[in-house]
Amino acid sequence: MSESIVEKYVAIADSLREMHAAPKTQRDIAFENQSLQNRDELLYVDLCQTMNAGDVGRLEASFLPWIYLFVATGKHKYAAQMSQFWSNLLDVYPPDLSRIVRLNMLCNPTGKAGAFRGVDWLVERNNLYTKVYRNCHVIMETAFFLKNRTLGHTAPDATLLIEKLQAYLEETKVYTSTAGRSAHVIEDALITGLQLIQGKKISQQQDSDRDDEAPPEVTGDDLIA
């Protein structure tokens, strides 16, 4: 069932190609847009679950689509840093150093299953606890006898949110394919990022080829006015 849902409602290469190849009168742009959004959101969900589980190999395998997405959305510094970091892991660092880096990309402060976090998250959390805000927090807890009662909360009740979301989906029918329905076309960020990177590589290769060309030989006749 899960595979059928993905094939129908998530923009995978084959299904997206078929939708784009259909005549304009048979295309449903809104449905295509929703399929792209589902795919990109699932990439984020997969990344969160991967990090929570501490699966470094799966985390590293997710770098490429995120590099494409960052390039397509103008986040070039993120894309450049991820590309450089990944390139160093694969081709620059010695194997022992790469292994050490991989083993320290995530940490688990509590030791509980599914509780891995990025190391930068732990650093920022420690910084927060050293600031004045934390001291004020402790003072208020002590003054009002709230010790150990302000950090833990009950699970949120999402009943109302789900009802509103269900009503919205029923009204907009974004998950029902309707031939000829028009909407603003949302570009495929993965394809756009890939094309931008490939175009940049071709441009750099052409510049490199021109630089490698031997300069023309200058003779004395060329200098005669």
Task: Give the model confidence (pLDDT) of 117-163 as tens digits.
Answer: 988 888 888 887 777 565 676 665 665 555 555 556 677 788 999 99
Looking at residue 208, its amino acid is S
pLDDT of residue 148: 56
Residue 204 pLDDT more than 80? no
Cα separation, 16 vs 36, in Å, equals: 9
User: Average pLDDT for residues 104-119, to the nearest whole number?
Assistant: 91
Asked if 68 contacts 194 with a C-beta cutoff of 8 angstroms, the reply is yes
pLDDT per residue over 10-66, tens digit each?
Answer: 887 777 778 878 888 888 888 888 899 999 999 999 999 999 999 999 999 999 999
Q: How confident is the model at residue 218 (pLDDT cuts 50, 70, 90)?
A: very low
Q: How confident is the model at residue 220 (pLDDT cuts 50, 70, 90)?
A: very low
Cα separation, 53 vs 43, in Å, equals: 15
Distances (CA, A) of 172 to 15, 87, 178, 185: 22, 44, 11, 17
pLDDT of residue 120: 87
Percent of the chain's residues with pLDDT above 70? 79
pLDDT of residue 56: 94
Residue 206 pLDDT more than 60? yes
222/205: higher pLDDT = 205
pLDDT of residue 126: 80
Distances (CA, A) of 27 to 10, 37, 58, 177: 16, 17, 35, 9
DSSP state of 114: T
Indicate the burial class of 93 (C-beta count within 10 angstroms; 0-12, 13-18, 19 or more): middle
Residue 215 pLDDT more than 60? no
What integer best gives the mean pLDDT of the chain? 82
Residue 207 pLDDT more than 90? no
Provide the token pair at 38: 């589902």
